[in-house]
Structure 1
């Protein structure tokens, strides 16, 4: 059922919960002691803080040169990575799928940091000594995830677009389709694993240049595939991957057709 355009209700349900790509949030002080842990998904529960601390000990030397808002990440295997973000003598660590985009992670951590400092100040917490376990803080941070992953999006229409792209038959011309939010969160992809991660690195560049109002971008990948992408309604990216032998006019026809169908769904 589609939410009417004039509805004032904004869904707070996470996008496709079964595909949630974030699993654990941990906050450490500079001493390497875990002071807060939140299970975001049930896929990779961490029962012992000391287990992740052994990883963190190795990460301490890895992140010595980390300055300001820069992000460091460490691939864990199994399509997982640890992402480390330092703010005011605190280390925020996210265990997430390797496909997650740095721009999205940076926004999440920035908002979580603000809420965490507000909580610490209000409750007079000594972050170098105390381990925090509080359902109020848990719910506050979960709201941050829900807000950023679902803000200003019509989730019913997203699901309709997901189903449309899933049913879109790839042919000898079209090698792949990726549909993302403006922050690089994958809504649908026909690519998996390593190949998807490679294209998402190109998406991060795409996000930056779109800030300069470049709506369409055509380029050739390192694998000599032709990439056509378009920015839709300042919220989404659609990327079509073609064989390098395709004629530009045919590739643009396919892109215009897919974009037109997506816009039709968004207008319903």
Structure 2
């Protein structure tokens, strides 16, 4: 997994957002293709199922003088409340819960070596937490093709679910059930907080993490007003594959948004975490 920051008008042109609205108005996806575009000759095949799911299959193409080996392409399916015309804008003081299933498929490791290719496709729920276009302030749930899963960036304190090089949470092709709950300031305490529940439905591995937002800057207590969210598709390539090239295929489905889960879900989470600690 690699971090990368993009600035400039060209990079942010697709990120226009609507006025702040209740997240309950979510009704579709605003698609942003090639936010990173290191492989401009790739072939993108999207499938959008209203607000219930989205999928992108991308053939990165073989290595040739017009298509040299670089970093990655990146695309977003941003949550929208106007049927995909613009990006939905979050409110700092509105709690919410998002649940979904996802799966990452790729042939990137099929070079005959029996090893994982060092650069892997990535996905996960993403938060656009800076309206000035500086993507270094963004972050979310990082789901990396080697089985690594963690939460970070966007002013969230770091939480590790699994380190892929030690004990991976999944392998490519597994079906993952995930949820993200945002607790606005004052719900779980003075600091905004989040909870992520991860379940690998293929292997039954499950883990829940709960953490706060960074207390270092009181002005950034939780997501900023006007922040956006969406699903990330970050695709790279194995240059050792043949003329068919690397094909990455990431899918999200059964997407459900629940506004203001509030104290009841926090109490349920507390019981779940306590039970897990007793079993540990």
TM (normalized to structure 2)?
0.29
Structure with greater Cα Rg: 1
Q: Identify the structure with bigger relative contact order (alpha carbons < 8 Å, sequence gap 6+).
A: 2
Which structure has the highest helix share of the two? 1
